[in-house]
Structure 1
Amino acid sequence: MPVTRSHIIDENALERLNKSKTEEFKEQPGRIALTDVVTQQPRALGERPGAHARAHPASKLDVKKDEEKPEESRASLKRSATSSAIAPQTRVPQQEFKKTKIDYVWEDLDEEDHDDPLMVSEYVVDIFKYLHVLERKTLPDPLYLSRQRNLRPKMRSILVDWMVEVHLRFRLLPETLFLAINIMDRFMSKEAVQVDKLQLLATGSLFIAAKYEEVYSPSVKNYAYVTDGGYNEDEILQAEKYILQILEYDLSYPNPMNFLRRISKADDYDVQSRTIGKYLLEISVIDHRFIGHLPSLCAAAAMYVARKMLGRHAWGGNLIHYSGGYKEDDMAEVVDMLMEYLVLPIMHEEFFKKYASKKFMKASILARSWAKKVVADGKSEETL
């Protein structure tokens, strides 16, 4: 498959995190500093020009030493696919659902969950219909980067890579990272942000997302510490309030992981394809080019490419149905962008290292090797 799109972010444009952050976490406990991209005088989000007091917190990061979360069990995956979705509190506008002709055969896999009350099989179809409506309402403006005067795609790239590292160090859930990036993008779709305040926005977004998704959320002093003295606890709390005000306290983002788990049901909850799918799905929130694409579409494309890597070529009726009705032609553009990302030089080092670990089955290494081989063999998108 020849790569035809030019990528806005190039390898030389990446300004890495400070050298100290690449040391082992236990050797430099907790501190993860973001590379300075500008030298402007700092100002807190929503603060008037001229006020720029900063404190240097002396508290250490209150987290345990590295330990890996166990891989999700099949039972937990089945439950989380529906229980993590918020049931609608208001009636869903019926005109937003398009009636399409179903020209494929699929099985009712929800029937096997009829006796499991946690799977709410009688409501699961309505829940996912609602999520498909909701994902359009919570989609960030894909053109917001062009309206931010001093913000360039490479700056978002650096910022998101830093968020991935903090997310990994805190050992947070995948849903937390997806929600945090969505909060950040939606905020910048509505408000202009000074470049030197991007780290405060990212920290506040992670802080909010962790409160929303996690059972035990890291304390604000932990977030202040990982900014390496860049912001104190009060500034982060003020940023949290301001972000929520701009978003009108709406955090009802249909997490892409819900859609991926729903598709995984039609894939017999295969661990390997789901893990590679997670890696590919995370690319869709890290690379700014995916901002305008629906989470459900990105989840379907991620599972599609993951199955291709493993030699499972058929995208049959069950996969079409449980992905939300996406066929191969519907996913072509997103699949193309995923392939482009995989064959380009590594642009997000922390993200790549995360998925190069045994915990994630070295998904990033496998995916890049496979994509380069596909391109080297001269295969087109149609032959994938």
Structure 2
Amino acid sequence: MNMARQTNNRRALGDIGNLVGALSTRCTVSKGRVLAAAAGENNIVAVKNFVQVDRPVTRSFGATLAKEGLLTQAPAQEFEEHMKWGAKQRRTRERNHVKTNVENSVVPLADKVLESVPSPHEVIGWSRAALLKNDTESMIIDLTEEDEDDDECCEMETEEAESQMPNIDEADMDNPLAVTDYVEDIYSFYHEREIISCVPPGYMSLQSDINEKMRAILVDWLIEVHLKFGLMHETLFLAINLFDRYLSSQSVVRKSLQLVGVTSMLLASKYEEIYAPIVEDFVLVSDNAYRKSDILQMEKSILNTLQFNITVPTPYVFMKRFLKAAGSEKDLETVSLFLMELCQVEYIMLKYPPSMLAAAAVYTGVCILRRAPSWSRTMECHTTYTEEQLIECAKLMTGFHQNAGKGKLTSVHKKYSSPKFSCAARLEPAHFIGENYL
């Protein structure tokens, strides 16, 4: 029983050579207890049950040696010679490995390897020091103490930063539709893929029969049609996106421009709505200017041109997330949507990516409502934009707000002047935007 208990103990960490810079020895395994003690001033090392063999000592082989009395005590001198032999074998293996794998740089690489290998005296001293430690775990703690301290400091800084940042999804943790476990990854993917939904800001130069003003008239009309049908916000922004992406790839004559618009609205309705308007509804709303077959033929043309790539992040997709980070207040949501739809009419706003349009609309809405702070660290984290980056776009939105009720294109202003949309268009424009950055 005593022998069984002794054979279950492991050797000191120094014997197995698993530390950086340590040298492995021959297949020497001690199945007995290795005891180390300091005896008097000479620090005599006592090594019990140490046997040097040329094969691994398994449990059955160790039991056989113990039964036959072959496990004898080894003096300190024999132990030193054994460690010298192990160091020599290690250096030989390192040298051969370098010659085999690095033929073009044998000499310098071999020198670097040999310089990192300690001498036999250093190995013996290290092994003795390891044997003199009663608790092998203390060696591990000594070797990793500095790294653990650094890790603890990093963890403390990370926890402190996370504690200061409010969790905007905390209220929806129990709502499976909010997918709080994946929402951050989803919007990170949107930021990476939003370039697909963008169009060249100068694509109108490729069109020979239409221009920017015609586009503005059509978009203003589509917003009125969208309101008449009572469609979702996602449908409007997706329809304008499909419309612009098609015009950037195909040359369209003036008489077919409205056909492209109503067909884009039809496709967006099929994608977003539960009960989408039928084709006859769009024939009627276009005053029978086009037949049902014309709309269906244009539908095929748009899908083939866009390669059926309809799933793209629009400005409204980003706005929903940014509004949640800002507090999800109804007034702010309405004002931000008003500013966003004003931007859809303006061809110049195509130069901004969807996420920046959404962030600038929310920022401008915060300034219109005179909320403080105008741009918090939470908003900067979720939008990935600083206040300085949004100033230029926000100033353009303010200009559109000031001129919204003027001219012929007033569909957005009329829409958001009604009580249904909290009369957002009647609010005073944010003249103070960016006054510190002028």
1:109 matched residue in structure 2: 168
Q: Is the 8 A contact 1:105 1:317 kept in 2?
A: no
> Where in structure 2 are the equivalents of 1:32-51 lying within 5 Å?
none
User: Which of the residues 377, 400, 414 maps onto 1:317?
Assistant: 377
Q: Distance in 2 between matches of 1:163 and 1:124?
A: 31
Q: Is the 8 A contact 1:104 1:317 kept in 2?
A: no
Q: Distance in 2 between matches of 1:164 and 1:249?
A: 24
2:17 matched residue in structure 1: none
Q: Distance in 2 between matches of 1:347 and 1:259?
A: 30
Query: Secondary structure of 1:229's partner?
Result: coil
2:275 matched residue in structure 1: 216
Letter in 2 for 1:331: L
> Where in structure 2 are the equivalents of 1:92-103 lying within 5 Å?
none
Letter in 1 for 2:434: E
1:80 matched residue in structure 2: none
User: Which of the residues 407, 415, 420 maps onto 1:354?
Assistant: 415
Structure 2 residue runs without a partner (length 5+): 1-160
Letter in 2 for 1:199: Q
- CA-to-aligned-CA distance 1:98-137 (integer Å, 9 cap, x gap): xxxx999532222443332221111111100111112111
Q: Is the 8 A contact 2:394 2:433 kept in 1?
A: no
Q: Distance in 2 between matches of 1:355 and 1:104?
A: 39
Q: Is the 8 A contact 1:106 1:321 kept in 2?
A: no
Query: Secondary structure of 1:172's partner?
Result: coil
Please say if 1:295 is aligned against 2:354.
yes
- Percent of aligned pairs with the same residue? 36
> Where in structure 2 are the equivalents of 1:117-196 lying within 5 Å?
117-196=176-255
Letter in 2 for 1:333: E
Question: Which has the larger Rg?
Answer: 2
- CA-to-aligned-CA distance 1:153-209 (integer Å, 9 cap, x gap): 111111111101111110101110100000000001101100111000001100000
Q: Distance in 1 between matches of 2:164 and 2:362?
A: 19
Q: What TM-score comes out, normalization by structure 2 length?
A: 0.60
Give 1:383 deviation, angstroms.
4.7
Give 1:353 deviation, angstroms.
0.7
2:100 matched residue in structure 1: none
Please say if 1:381 is aligned against 2:434.
yes
Give 1:301 deviation, angstroms.
0.6
Query: Secondary structure of 2:393's partner?
Result: helix
Give 1:266 deviation, angstroms.
2.0
Q: Distance in 2 between matches of 1:329 and 1:137?
A: 25
Q: Is the 8 A contact 1:175 1:257 kept in 2?
A: yes
Give 1:346 deviation, angstroms.
4.2
Please say if 1:332 is aligned against 2:385.
no
Q: Distance in 1 between matches of 2:241 and 2:360?
A: 19
Count matched residues.
Answer: 274
Q: Is the 8 A contact 2:239 2:265 kept in 1?
A: yes
Q: Is the 8 A contact 2:197 2:314 kept in 1?
A: no
> Where in structure 2 are the equivalents of 1:19-34 lying within 5 Å?
none
Query: Secondary structure of 2:351's partner?
Result: coil
Q: Is the 8 A contact 1:346 1:352 kept in 2?
A: no
1:229 matched residue in structure 2: 288
Counterparts in 2 of 1:262 and 1:213: CA distance versus 1, 3 Å: same
Letter in 2 for 1:382: E
Q: Distance in 2 between matches of 1:274 and 1:237?
A: 35
Q: Distance in 2 between matches of 1:104 and 1:252?
A: 35
RMSD over equivalenced CA pairs, Å = 2.0
Please say if 1:203 is aligned against 2:262.
yes
